[in-house]
Amino acid sequence: MYNMDNQSVSEINQERTSNVKYSCDGILSKIVSSLKPIFTWKILKPVLYGQVLSVLICGTAITSNYLSEDKIEIPLTQSFINYVLLFFTYTMILCVRKNEDGKPILFQVLRKNWWRYALLSTIDVEANFMVVLAYQYTSLTSVQLLDCFVIPVVMLLSYFLLKVRYIHVHYIGVTIALVGVACMVGADVLVGKGGVGSNPALGDILVLAGAVCYGITNVSMEFISKKHNNGNIEYLGMYGLFCPLVCGIQMAILEHDKLAAIVWTPKVILLLAGFGVCMYLLYSFMPIVMKLSSATAVNISLLTADLYALFSGLFLFGYKLSPLYIVSFVTIVIALVIYNSMQPTHRNDAVQQPCDSSSMNSLTLPANDEAEPLNHDLGTWFSKSNSAGEV
């Protein structure tokens, strides 16, 4: 009788163990099946490409830090190098390529839209200048927090100008990303990197103004890049034409004394060249990522740039590490995956796109627009927009 009772208890325990195992397997399979549509190459590709942009920004931060250690603070000159490189590549491409009349495409674009591209170029130069200048007046913490203002700016501009319609998933993703930024700022405060500015109000205003300017240029870049296949060449070619003029004049006025005082050692030259190359690659790749994605998704991706700079600084500059930095990085990456898990809809879309199409195609254009070459008579984004209304 005793053995039979033991046998019954053993069978019951085995049955319970088997049921728990099957239950766990069922839950695990449900989790895997629910995550499988999210972790696809279509969704992860723009996330990874966005991190490449963050690494390039990290490169500019490292080179700028080394220059700052040598008491060299010439942000306009550093940007000027990038703009000159854009001129000798993309502007030259516009000069070499011909339209149907045998004239350089550059003249066609200038004839119709020179003042628009001149305005966008000026906004880009001033955006870079204002954010860098803000570090002299306000704390690192304020810059990091207020620089996130570019995300709502981009979302609002995309909503009203590009007719993008967001859903709950995108707002959740953005919110989680901002939580990640809060963790990063909190970590900076804990390790003593927050600092105190000499004129916090002025610095904060500069950061906010720079964020608005970045939002305008980013949304313009997304629209032009998606409007036709060679939109990135046109956009960067116009930057290469107008930005050196605007930046060069401002540089001659504000930085001529600093440039005259610099001792041009090989180290300084290499650091300036490294900064210029990183910025050039950033400008070159960003329209490509915009074409795969959207201005909002790219700006969320760029939130990790400060973390990459910090991780590099652990070895290069002796920065202190806080566990909150790791939490911040993981949180922002999760936010990116959530944001990209569903596609924002266009106002004219009758049906929402399926999940696996990715938010990285937020503006689906007609096939005839997408296939139009740059040298088409209506190939520039401003002239094409006139048919449906002025931009």
Rounded-to-10 torsion of CA 198, 200, 202, 206: 110
* Residue pair 319/65 in contact by the 8 Å Cβ criterion: no
User: For residue 222, how far is the Cα from the chain centroid?
Assistant: 11
* Rg (the chain; Cα; Å): 25
Note the pLDDT tens digit of each residue in 75-107.
999 999 999 999 999 999 999 998 888 888 999
SS3 content of the chain, % helix, strand, coil (to 5): 75, 0, 20
E strands, the chain, where? 164-165, 345-346
Percent of the chain with pLDDT over 90: 51
Note the pLDDT tens digit of each residue in 13-49.
565 555 545 555 555 565 455 555 666 777 788 889 9
Task: Give the lowest-confidence range in 22-36, 122-136, 187-201, 363-377.
Answer: 363-377
The per-residue pLDDT for 68 is: 86
What H or E segment, with its residue span, contains residue 316?
helix 305-316
* Residue pair 58/305 in contact by the 8 Å Cβ criterion: yes
Q: In the chain, where are the structural domains located?
A: 40-379
How buried is 215 (Cβ within 10 angstroms: 0-12 exposed, 13-18 middle, 19+ buried)?
Answer: buried
**CA pair distance 124, 55, nearest whole angstrom:** 20
E strands, 99-195, where? 164-165
* Residue pair 204/138 in contact by the 8 Å Cβ criterion: yes
How buried is 360 (Cβ within 10 angstroms: 0-12 exposed, 13-18 middle, 19+ buried)?
Answer: buried
**CA pair distance 311, 176, nearest whole angstrom:** 21
C-alpha distance from residue 138 to each of 58, 129, 133, 197, 198 (Å): 21, 15, 9, 4, 6
**CA pair distance 360, 303, nearest whole angstrom:** 17
Amino acid at the residue 65: N
pLDDT at 174 over 90: yes
Q: What is the mean pLDDT of the chain?
A: 81
Its sign, for the CA torsion 235, 240, 242, 246, is positive
* Residue pair 373/311 in contact by the 8 Å Cβ criterion: no
Q: Which residue has the higher pLDDT, 13 or 71?
A: 71
The per-residue pLDDT for 22 is: 55
The per-residue pLDDT for 360 is: 31
How sure is the predictor about 135, in pLDDT bands with cuts at 50, 70 and 90?
confident
* pTM of the full structure: 0.80
Vertex 156 angle, CA 155 and 157, to 5°:
95
